[in-house]
Structure 1
Amino acid sequence: GLHPADDARLIRTLDRLRDLGNTVLIVEHDEAMMRAADHLIDMGPGAGEHGGEVVAAGAIEEVMACPRSITGQYLRGERRIPLPAHRREGNGLVLTIKGARENNLKNIDVHIPLGKFVCITGVSGSGKSTLIAEILYKKAAQLLYGAKDRPGQCDGILGLDHIDKVVNIDQSPIGRTPRSNPTTYTGTFTPIRELFASVPEARLRGYSPGRFSFNVRGGRCEACQGEGYIEIEMHFLPDVTVPCEVCKGKRYNREALEVTFRGKNIAEVLDMTAEEAL
C-alpha cells in the first residue's frame, strides 16, 4: 500500500538492482509495479481452492491477452473498480483535532466529518499514522474505555461526544493463542459445538458442548492436547512439528469423532472452507 510517489522510487531501486545483474522477484499486485516488470507470472484464477494455477506468464501484453486472467481483465480495462455516482452526505457532525504536534506534525488542526468514508492519505512518513493511531485513536480510547496508552500531543479533540465506540483495525495477529482459528475468533465455534451436542447420538451419550472443544479434556486428543501436532525439540536446530500419530492431526479423540452432523464430524466441519460450510 505505498503512495504513488514512493512506488516510483521503489521501482527505480528495483530496476537498478536488476541492471547490476541481479534477478529480482517481488510478490505484488500494484498496477505500476506490474507494468514496470519485465516478466509477469499470474497466479489464480481465483483465491483459495479456486486458485493454485499459473494462469498466464510472460510480458504484460501476454497477461493482458489471456481471457482467464482476472489480473489481465483489470489491466486492459475490461474490469474496473467503479467510482460511486453519489458521495455520502454524512450526518453533519465533525471531529476536530486541535494543535496536533506529535512527531513531525506541525501544530495542525484537522476536521474529520462523521458519517462518511474518510481517507487519510499522503506519502510515507508524512504523519498519517501519527495523526490517526497515536493521537485520535488513543485519545478516543482513553475517554471511551479508560485505556492507559498515552495519546500523542495535541491541544484537544472536539466532537468525541458524538461517538460511542472506536475500533482500531491494524495488522496485529487476530489470534491470541496458537489454538485460535477463524471460528474461535468470530464466535461461531460455540454454536457449532452446541449443534453437535444436540444431535441424537451426542444426547444419547450425554455429551455437552464442551465435549467438542479441543481446548479441554473430554473430547480432545490427549496425546497432543488438542493441538493436532507434536512439537519435537531439536538441539542446536529449530524445533520440528509433526502431525499427531494418534489423532492424525484431527485434534479430537475417537469418541468425539463418532458423532456426526449431516455426515460430517466436528474435525471435518472445522476443516471446511466458509464456502463449503455455507
Structure 2
Amino acid sequence: QVTFHDDSIVDICRLSVEEAHTRLSGWLESSEDDGTPESAVIRKVLPHLVSRLGFLERVGLNYLTLDRSTRTLSGGEFQRSRLAGALGSGLIGVGYVLDEPTIGLHATDSQKLVSCLEDLRDQGNSVLLVEHDLAVLRQADWIVDLGPGGGRRGGRLVVSGPPEDVMACSESVTGAHLAGRMAERPRQRREVDPDHAVTLRRANLNNLKDLEVAVPLGVLCAVTGVSGSGKTSLVSGTLVPLLSAELSGRKCEDVGTPAAELDWPEDSGLDRVVLVDQSSLGRSPRSTPATYTKIWDEIRKVFAQTRMARAKGFDSRRFSFNTDPGRCEECSGRGHVTVEMQFLPDLVVPCRACEGRRFDAETLRVKYRGKSVAEVLEMSAADAVEFFENFPRVVSLLQTLVDTGLGYMVIGQPTATLSGGEAQRVRLSTELGRRRRGPSLFVLDEPTTGLHADDVSRLIEVFDRLVDAGNSVVVIEHHPELIAAADWVIDLGPGGGAGGGRLVATGTPHQLVDQADSATGQMLREVLNPAG
C-alpha cells in the first residue's frame, strides 16, 4: 500500500475539503527542502493542491468530502465547484455566467462567494449573474432589471445601470426592495409556548452530535446555519420520519427511522406531517400543474356547463386529455408523438392531427368566453385567475399558485420541466387548496429558492395563513427576510461538516442578534437594524 505521511490516497479522499486543506497545509509548512524525493514531491505538488482546496473553501464547499460523487451534488454545489476550478485556472479575458450561485448558501458563505467573483473580475474577466439575493445585488457593478412582472407580464427592460440608478427607478420592484421602499405588512410575532413543542434528544444522524432541541408548534419556525451544519439531517432526516412514525402508530425501528428520542405533547391535536420537498412531481409526461393541483378538475366542470357542451351531451370527462373520448386519438392526449430513430435518440415532434392541442376537433369547438380548453392550458396562473373570475372555487385554487410566487407559470406545461423550487411550491399550493383538515406540521427545505424578494414577501404571507389556521410551519432557510419574519429560530453550527451539528442558539430573531457566536445572528442584525 502506497502511503504518504502514513496516509493512503483513500484516507485523504475520505476527508472533507476543510480537513484535507488543513492536513496538506500542515505537511507543506513542516516540510524541509533536504533534497529527498519526498521533499521534491511536497514542493512541486502540494502548493497546487493546497491552492485548489483553498478555492473550494472560499466558495463555501468546505464540508464536502473529496470522494463525493458529482452526481450527488446539488445544482448550486456543482456550480460552485466549477467556479473554484475557474479561480485556480488563472485565465483572463473569459466571460463567466452563473445562474443563482447563492442557492443553498448562508449569508456568510454568500459573501465569500462574492469575494471570489470579484477576484475573477479583477483578474480581467467578466462575470454575469442571474441573481435575486439583495446583498449580492448591492455589490454588483451593474444591474439589468427585467420585468415588470413574471411570465407574459415580463420580458421588458425596466432599468439598466449601477445599483444607485436601479434604486432610484420608481418602476423597478427590485429597486424598491434594494432601497427599502417596500412597505412591510404589520406582523404580530406569535408567542412560543415551551410546553407545546416537539423535543428531539440524542439526535446523531450524519454530523449531528447528540443534539437536543425543542421545535415549537403553532408558529413559523426557521432552522438556520451555514451550509453543511446539519439542518436537513435534523429536520428532514430525523424529525420528519420520527414524528410521522409516531403519528401513524408504527414503531420507529420498523420503518427505518434514525435513532433518536422524541417527546411531543399528544394533546397537541397534530394530525399529520407534510414534507414539502423539491423532488420531481412525478414521472408521467401527462402531469401538469393544473392536473397535479386538481385545478383542471374544476376547469373541466366549467366547460361542461357551457351551452354548446350541454347541447352535445358532453360531461366533464370529455375535457380530460388523459382519457377518451375527448382527447386526440393520434397522440393519446400528449400533444406530441415520439419518432423512434434506430441509431439516434428518439425524436419528439408535435402531433399533426391536433397540432399539439391534445384534444380532438369536436372538443375544441366548445369554448368558454371565446377560449377552448387547449387555449386555457396555455394560460399563466395569473391570467387564468382573471379569466375564471366568475368561478370562486377555480379562482381560489389558482390563487394559491399566484400566492406562492408561481403566477407566471403556464398551467398546462409538463411538471417534468419545473425546477426543484417550482415543484416544491406547486406541492405547497396543492396543500393550500385542499379542504381543511386537522392541524398539520408543514416542513419545507429552502422554499425561497429562485424567488425574487417580492415573491418572498408573498410566501411569508402564505406561511402566516397556514399558522393562523392552526398549523405549524418549519422551514430550513438561508433567506434573511424569511428568517427575520419567523417566530422562532433554531441556529445550528457553528461550522459545516465535522464543525457543525451543534446547537448554537435558539430564540426569536431579535434574541439571536445578541448571540455573538451565531453567524445567523450577525446577519439578522443587518436586516432588523439596517441603520445600525
Q: TM-score, normalised by structure 1?
A: 0.89
Question: Which of the residues 84, 89, 93 maps onto 2:191?
Answer: 89
Q: Does the CA contact (< 8 Å) of 2:196 and 2:265 recur in 1?
A: no
1:261 match: secondary structure:
coil
Q: What are the Cα deviations for residues 72-111 of structure 1, in whole angstroms up to 9, with x where unaligned?
A: 1111221254573x31125651110011111111101101
The answer to which structure, 1 or 2, has the higher relative contact order (CA under 8 A, 6+ apart) is 2
Q: Does the CA contact (< 8 Å) of 1:63 and 1:69 recur in 2?
A: yes
Match of 2:214 in 1: 111
Question: Which of the residues 15, 33, 56 maps onto 2:159?
Answer: 56
Cα displacement (A) at 1:214: 0.6
1:24 match: secondary structure:
strand
| Cα distance between partner residues in 2 of 1:119 and 1:268 | 41
| Cα distance between partner residues in 2 of 1:27 and 1:107 | 39
Question: Which of the residues 230, 245, 259 maps onto 1:153?
Answer: 259
Match of 2:357 in 1: 250
Q: Does 1:168 align with 2:168?
A: no
Cα displacement (A) at 1:239: 4.3
From the superposition, tell whether residues 251 and 144 of structure 1 become closer, same or farther in structure 2 (CA, over 3 Å): same
Q: Does the CA contact (< 8 Å) of 2:198 and 2:215 recur in 1?
A: yes
Match of 2:124 in 1: 21
Match of 2:284 in 1: 177
Q: TM-score, normalised by structure 2?
A: 0.49
| Cα distance between partner residues in 2 of 1:68 and 1:235 | 54
After TM superposition, where is structure 1 displaced by more than 6 Å over at least 4 residues in a row?
A: none
Gap regions ≥5 residues in structure 1? none
1:124 match: secondary structure:
coil
Q: Does the CA contact (< 8 Å) of 2:202 and 2:212 recur in 1?
A: yes
Cα displacement (A) at 1:252: 0.4
Gap regions ≥5 residues in structure 2? 1-103, 386-532
Match of 1:202 in 2: 309
| Cα distance between partner residues in 2 of 1:30 and 1:149 | 39
- Matched residue pairs, number? 276
Q: Does the CA contact (< 8 Å) of 2:147 and 2:156 recur in 1?
A: yes
| Cα distance between partner residues in 2 of 1:20 and 1:81 | 41
| Greater fraction helix | 2
| Cα distance between partner residues in 2 of 1:35 and 1:237 | 48
Percentage identity across paired residues of the two chains: 45
| Cα distance between partner residues in 2 of 1:234 and 1:24 | 40
2:262 match: secondary structure:
strand
Match of 1:144 in 2: 247
| Cα distance between partner residues in 1 of 2:237 and 2:137 | 34
1:264 match: secondary structure:
coil
| Cα distance between partner residues in 2 of 1:2 and 1:223 | 48
